[in-house]
Every structure is written in C-alpha cells, then in structure tokens.
A and B are shown apart, each in its own frame.
Chain A
Amino acid sequence: MSEPLLRVKGLRTEIPGGPGSVVAVDDLSFDIHQGEILGIVGESGSGKSMTALSIMGLVAPAGRVTAKRMEFDGWDLTGLDEAAMRRLRGREMAMIFQDPMTSLNPVLSIGFQLIEQLRWRLGLSRRQARRQAVELLGRVGISGAERRLDDYPHQFSGGMRQRVSIAMAISCEPKLLIADEATTALDVTIQAQITDLIMRLCEESGMSVMWISHDLGVVAGLCDRVNVMYAGRLAESADAMSLYAHSRHGYTRGLMKSVPRIDRRRQRLEAIAGRPPSLIDLPKTCPFEPRCAYSTPECGAKPAPRRNFGENHIAYCWADLPAEEGVE
C-alpha cells in the first residue's frame, strides 16, 4: 500500500498534574490512509479525544506530546513548532467537536466565523469568502444560507449548529477530518442525518476521516477500520468486518456484549464489571486485566504481547478468545 496520510508511532500524551502525571495516551501506533475512515472506539477516558488533540497539536499548554514518529502528508509533526502546526490546522486537518452548543463563539455571527477562516486560511477577499460561505452552508444542508449568515449560534438548533461546525471544518478542503463524538450530543434522528452528511462529504472529496465514538454499533457501519482503545492504549485494531467476525481482545468482546441488539429480544445486556483504572502510574501489564472475563495467569504478570491475527488485525492480549461468542 502507498504511504499513509497519517502515520503515528509510539504516541504518548502526558498531562502533568497534582499527584502525578496522567498518561492520557500511551505508546499508540496507527496509520490512516488516503480516503480511509478510521473509527476510534473506547469509553470515556480511554484517550480517544486526547489522541485527536495530540495530532492536531491542541494539547499544549496543558500537556506534553511525544512520539517516535508522527507524520502527516509528508510533514513530521513531532518537529513542527506552533506556528507551523497552526498552518496545518484548519487547512490540512480539521476537527469537529462534540458539543455544538459550546463549540461556536456565541457573540460572533456564524457568517463571521466561517468567513474569518476562509479569509485567514485561503486568503479570499471579503466578497469571495462570503460567496464561499453561502455555498458551504448550502452544502451542509442549511436552507436560506444567504439570510442565515448574519445569525448568531443561539438562533440555531443543536443539529444546525453541528452543520455549521461541519461547514467550517470542510471549508478549506482538509485531507483529514477528525470527528470527535460529533453526533453524541444530538437527538438520535439528527445523529443519523449528521453522520450521513459527514460520510457523503468525505466520499465526495476523498478526505480521510478519524471518527471518534464510544458507540461500537455506529462505528461498525461507517468505518473501514476500527481502533479499540482502553486506558490510553491500543487494545485491538482491525478491519471492521474482521473485528466483528472475531474480536481478539477481552475489552472489545465486553464492548460488543454491552451493545443492545435488535435481533435478540429480551436479551440481557452484559455490562463490563468494574471501572476504568486511574491513568496515573498504570502498570505495564494489560490495563483491562482486572475487569476481563478471559483473564489468564500471564495477564497480570507480563505486558500483553502484540499479536497478529491475519492481515490488518492486531490485538494486545494473552488470551485466545473463542470465535463463537463474536457476531455470527
């Protein structure tokens, strides 16, 4: 395969604080290829958002990001200063955030917020930028775009605001779009619309997408490949089909059992017992071991090995998980 658009090797993001550093992301490696949709799944605190912010260079000044390699479209992100990172952000890589109610500036009109980016980043004239902004709002499905340009965020519903956020994110035609729980804060019906919109836009433009979600069910339908994260580390990474056919990590298995299924009536959902560990001074062994239903004696003793299961399927796990418990 050709060079990936984004190559991450040994990413580590630390947030210094009171009793000890929180290692939000630890030794994470993955690639995103041109046009690929990568899902990142995990529960709250698993390091999904921190991974995104680390790539975008938005962790500073609160935290420290280090990586063995972090290359994006020929750029070595580990060596870029803030000024150079800024030139990539919003232009080559863009991000949509979780909460549309707070991610837009309340005292600036949405037109202003769209136009400022077009003018600063693409160098368009006032007139060109305005025309472009109207066109963008149309593309994300906001009717009467010309009129709505001068409206403020509070005059839009949550779904509409998220459409505006999407318009801003795609305005400079980035190569990578990071959607961080972009639909989580929305109504279910709106979630589907917004998901469809993002998928359609990336099909049209050939953008790569990093789709962050805690919902394994949604990710299954959307993504080419899925990374499952736990406690800041990669647990399992596989093609969506392969992952659902035969998951190889105890945590992935646990997540799947906790998703309600429409084809099994009165099925008892199995919650994963216990809580995620504290990210301060985490042992080198598998962080999921205390909660794992498939735990073996090695799990608590030695760090989990990186195991390959066929092409593009890896898991950090000691146990050999039976196949029949997967999705048939």
Chain B
Amino acid sequence: MSSWVYLSRRLIQLPLVLFVASLTIFSLLHITPGDPVQIMLGMETSPDAVAALRAQFHLDQPLPMQYLIWVGDAIRGDLGNSIRLSQPVLHIIEQRFPISLGLAAAAMGLTLVVAIPAGIFSALRRNTFVDYLITGLSIGGIAIPNFVLALVLIYVFSVTLGWFPITGIGSRARVGDTLWQIYSPFILPSVALAAAEIGLLTRFMRSSMIDVLSRDYIRTARAKGLPGWWIIVVHGMKNAMIPVVTISAIQFGYLIGIQITIEFIFAIPGMGSALLEAVVNRDFPVVQGLTLMTAVFFVLANIVADTLYVLLDPRIRY
C-alpha cells in the first residue's frame, strides 16, 4: 500500500517540524527584553524573593538548558505552570482549546458552505455581472481586517438590530437553554473570522473550476451526452475539489492561530485571549505552551490535508 508509505513519510516530518517550531518559539520569547519575575513581583521586592522565583522557573539556568528542560517536560506532557495564574499550562489549554476549536470549526463550516457554491457559480457564470459581484465581495472579504468587520457586525446586528448576542461563548450552559442560546453567540465571531477565508476559498474554487472545465475530459463527457449537472458535479467537482480541499485543511489550521483579535473583541475565553493576556504579563510558560499547541494543530491540519489529497487523487497512490 504505497499510499501508506506516502502518509507515513509525511508523519515522520512531524517531530522535525515541532522541533523547529519549539526552538523558534523559545528563542523569540527569551530574546525579547523584560524580566517576567520583575514584572510580576514589582520593583520593590527583595532580591532573595526574586532569586527564589527565578529558580522555580529555571530562569537562573543558561538558555540552552532552559530550552532542554522545557522540551523535556513537554515531551512528558508537562508544559509547566503559569507564572500569573498559578495553574498548569495544560489546564489552561484544556479549558480554552475546545472553545477556540469550536469557533474555528464554525468559521470553517461557514467558509465551505459559502465559498464552494459561490466559487462554482462564479466559474459557471464567468464574466457576467454575478461573477463580478462575487469576485468583488471576495476581494472585499480578504481586504477588510477581521477586527473592523467584527466591530461593524456588532454595531449592525447586535447593537442596532439586536438579532445576535455579542458575547456568551464559553459561559456554562444551563439546563433549559435553547440551542439558539447556546450557539447564537458563535454567529458574529465566526462570520468575522470566516470573511477573509471565504473570499480566498471562493477565488480559489472559481479558478480551479474554470481550469477543470476547460479540460479535454470535460469535452469528452459532453460528447457522451451526459447531463450538464452531472458533468459539473461528478467530472468537474471531483477534480476541482482536490486543490480546494487541501487549501481548506490548511485554512482550518490557520484559523486557530488568527483568533486573537476576534476573541478579544467578543470576550471569548479561548486560546487567543489567553495568549494575549499571557503576552501582556510576560507569562512565558503560557505563551510557549499555547504557541506550541497552535503549531501542533497547524501541522496536524497539514497532515489531514495530505491525507485528503491522497484519498481524492488516485494518481498520488502510485
């Protein structure tokens, strides 16, 4: 089964990517100025107390040693403790990752549901008004920063129209809550998050479909007298989706990493807002842990993309 050979080769790359990622994260964090212990304890603390805390977080060790300690612990599943919140970093991830994942999934779902039909429609109606309209909206979606869009959405749909709540993701569901109460807080943030991805994927789907529709095998399918929708769905989409699926798997990995501003605006207790807090407070174990987690997720999303690629394109297997 050479498809498994292909995939295992991709899996072998995983530790290598994580090594490079961890080294980068660690280096960037430790060359930025600002002593976390000083910030935490204030300027008026006794040198002994500072030294004790520095020792507790291995800050008295040389940098390579600190890195090895961190990586060594991480491999055993221990990402250290938050300096500020005095709880394990892993615990923070456990609490917050599902929320960020849920938001990313909502945004991704929205992206696929909108971008694939819009891209196909655009390709089929090439150089008509509808095509130009979809193209314009796509480019708008890519160009508008997500925090600006978020504020506009809040103003229009929450403040003015009162259709959707602004906050509420992550608050504990109570018995008797309707589905609307649980899921409606996801709507505005996922739209704000998805807009750029929808724009990108629509453009991508459009060009992929246009490319496929100009191929000889589509002419063959027409010469066979197959129905038009069958040619587009079976012969066109099966080919056009190959690059699109790959891109969207990567987009999904990316969505976890770009939530910071959105989580901040909508007061979502996810990884992004935790990361923001930790950066402000120089809570380096949390920053390291969360960033590493994001990197792991991104790499996994890439592996999923490769897997889907193998499944969709029979030519890869041989």
Residue numbers of A with Cβ under 8 A of B are 56, 58, 86-91, 94-95, 97, 99, 102-109, 116-117, 120-121, 152, 154-155, 165, 168
Residue numbers of B with Cβ under 8 A of A are 215-217, 219-228, 230, 234-235, 238-239, 242, 312-315, 318
Set A90, A107, A154: member contacting B224, Cβ < 8 A: A90
Q: Return chain A residues, CB-CB under 8 Å to B228.
A: 86
Q: Return chain B residues, CB-CB under 8 Å to A121.
A: 224-225
Asked if A58 and B222 sit within 8 Å, CB to CB, the answer is: yes
Min CB–CB distance B223 → chain A (angstroms)? 5
Asked if A90 and B238 sit within 8 Å, CB to CB, the answer is: no
The B interface, classified by DSSP as helix, strand, loop or mixed, is helix
Q: Return chain A residues, CB-CB under 8 Å to B230.
A: 116, 120
Set B220, B312, B315: member contacting A154, Cβ < 8 A: B315
Q: A116-B226, A168-B224 are in contact. Are A103 and B216 (CB under 8 A)?
A: yes
Q: Return chain A residues, CB-CB under 8 Å to B238.
A: 105, 107-108
Asked if B219 and A58 sit within 8 Å, CB to CB, the answer is: yes
Asked if B217 and A106 sit within 8 Å, CB to CB, the answer is: yes
Min CB–CB distance A174 → chain B (angstroms)? 10
Q: Write the chain B residue with the least CB distance to A174.
A: B225
Extra A-B contacts (17), CB below 8 Å, given A97-B219, A106-B239, A120-B226 = A58-B222, A86-B228, A89-B222, A97-B220, A97-B223, A99-B216, A102-B216, A105-B220, A105-B238, A106-B313, A106-B315, A107-B242, A107-B315, A116-B226, A116-B230, A117-B224, A168-B220
Q: Return chain A residues, CB-CB under 8 Å to B234.
A: 108, 116
Q: Return chain B residues, CB-CB under 8 Å to A103.
A: 216-217, 219-220
For the complex of A and B, list the 4 residue pairs with the smallest distance between their C-beta atoms, beginning with the closest.
A90-B225, A89-B225, A90-B224, A102-B216
Min CB–CB distance B244 → chain A (angstroms)? 13
Set A87, A109, A117, A155: member contacting B318, Cβ < 8 A: A155
Q: A58-B219, A103-B216 are in contact. Are A91 and B225 (CB under 8 A)?
A: yes
Q: Return chain A residues, CB-CB under 8 Å to B219.
A: 58, 97, 103
Q: Write the chain A residue with the least CB distance to B223.
A: A95
Q: A154-B314, A154-B315 are in contact. Are A105 and B225 (CB under 8 A)?
A: no
Q: Write the chain B residue with the least CB distance to A88.
A: B225
A90–B219 alpha-carbon span in the complex (Å): 12
Q: Return chain B residues, CB-CB under 8 Å to A108.
A: 234-235, 238
A-B contact pairs, 29 of them (CB 8 A): A58-B219, A86-B226, A87-B225, A89-B222, A90-B223, A90-B226, A91-B225, A97-B220, A99-B216, A102-B215, A102-B216, A102-B217, A103-B220, A104-B217, A104-B220, A105-B217, A105-B239, A106-B314, A107-B239, A107-B312, A107-B314, A107-B315, A108-B234, A116-B230, A117-B225, A120-B225, A120-B226, A152-B315, A155-B318
